[in-house]
Structure 1
């Protein structure tokens, strides 16, 4: 969230900001290494390429929709013109930075605590038996189930690797398992709670819809080619 605020107030386009927001948790160099060790080079490369593509597509669509009005006003109010920056010495810049941090923390601290608390409660939890039962290879809606089940959960890409390996070993399709992983790390409930403080609910809904649809598409594609 602080990075999101920094991007927006620095004048970086909203679409680029969302590309970073989506790609950052999905494409992880450590997770890439574990994917390579666990599943081989082909899946590792395809997963990385898909994660980057989802981020790019999401960013392009959001930029095309021109949704800057759905970002909370205070984020833009933190913006400071270049001419002001040039007039500041190191001490004044440090003071400005400290004041900006205080302002951001004052506005969002309760939501940060709430998001971290929820994340801590459900961290590492994954309903493996449910996924195996309802998202198996014989269910044409398996990817939908995986994505919908992954959104409320919370974990990072590295922590999901053993879970994904167990799901695949139990018969869940590779695309279904990887889409579940993407949804868990990119669209988690704690993240939505945090983002609520910097963007309006409509923008969060659009973000979840675009990213979720992209993940579902990639999941079905992976099930076909892998």
Structure 2
């Protein structure tokens, strides 16, 4: 419905050329900006209401258990939420403010854009079930282990001060009515939107430019020419890009059909889904550049390892 409204506005009311790259970038910007703000408002509102029933000290204990338990739960939660890398950030912020450990919240942030039901359905249709299962398992592995490593590094000091203050705040037990729960959720949604609205706009604008002005042919030729280094090259090419699930899967399919190894094609797809320049811009509101760099670095290394592993399995199975 949102796409139809924007189509009517740009191509009907304004009479713009749908074949123009600039118009395509504008369409992408409008669609993703509106979509993210709607998701932002609705999801933070819902989580805010849920938090009135779930005391934050209990949430901290449940998701902060020893080992990788919390990371596994967060990765599974990420897998069933239909968000892109930018849309996942509001939930990431809400989890941090609820006092969930940083490494656990990173497990959600990594897995949520890599796996969702829409992407899985597209993959089954394009790649068939075995490759889809391998992709989903790899995404859960990257989210769990990547978040676990980030948690062990004790990087909380690199969060912005207001985020740290929210996470460390002592929360008194409050008796809520239905009206007060709704008001709490509403206040949470408004608060988060005020904090990151500018970063959302800047990030989506960067994504719109990349999505419409970076030719797929260039990406394919670089991967094809790099041999054994194709996996890290594919990951490096995927990281700065940004696109929806509908765009990511067809690109990976074309690469695979043109002879790019499956692990390399899926590494590009994972990097493009999980990490992006717009995401980095939006994350700057919550953390310092050093932490963003560490998060991107560890996740990229996990994706590269997975790409090589899938290439190896494809060769011998």
**TM > 0.5:** yes
- CA-based RMSD: 2.0
Distance change in 2, residues 1:66/1:151 (3 Å): same
Secondary structure of 1:123's partner? helix
Distance change in 2, residues 1:36/1:101 (3 Å): closer
Alignment counterpart, residue 27 of structure 1, candidates 115, 118, 125? 115
Contact kept, 8 Å, 2:113 with 2:273, in 1: the verdict is yes
Q: Which residue of 1 aligns with 2:47?
A: none
Q: Deviations over 1:12-56 (max 9, x none)?
A: 111111000000000111211221221121100000000110000
> Does 1:47 find its partner at 2:135?
yes
Contact kept, 8 Å, 1:132 with 1:171, in 2: the verdict is no
Q: Distance in 2 between matches of 1:35 and 1:137?
A: 26
Q: Which residue of 2 aligns with 1:169?
A: 257
Alignment counterpart, residue 83 of structure 1, candidates 122, 147, 172? 172
> Does 1:58 find its partner at 2:157?
no
Q: Distance in 1 between matches of 2:226 and 2:281?
A: 35
Secondary structure of 1:198's partner? coil
Alignment counterpart, residue 237 of structure 2, candidates 133, 138, 149? 149
What is the number of residues matched between the two proteins?
225
TM-score (norm 2): 0.66
TM-score (norm 1): 0.91
Q: Which residue of 1 aligns with 2:94?
A: 6
The higher relative CO (CA closer than 8 Å, separation ≥ 6) is in 1
Q: Distance in 2 between matches of 1:224 and 1:172?
A: 13
Q: Point out where structure 1 has 5 or more consecutive residues left out of the alignment.
A: none
Contact kept, 8 Å, 1:125 with 1:153, in 2: the verdict is no
Q: Distance in 1 between matches of 2:214 and 2:248?
A: 9
Distance change in 2, residues 1:216/1:126 (3 Å): farther
Tell me whether 71-80 or 32-41 shows the greater mean CA deviation. 71-80
Q: Point out where structure 2 has 5 or more consecutive residues left out of the alignment.
A: 1-88
Alignment counterpart, residue 190 of structure 2, candidates 99, 102, 107? 102
Q: Which residue of 2 aligns with 1:214?
A: 302
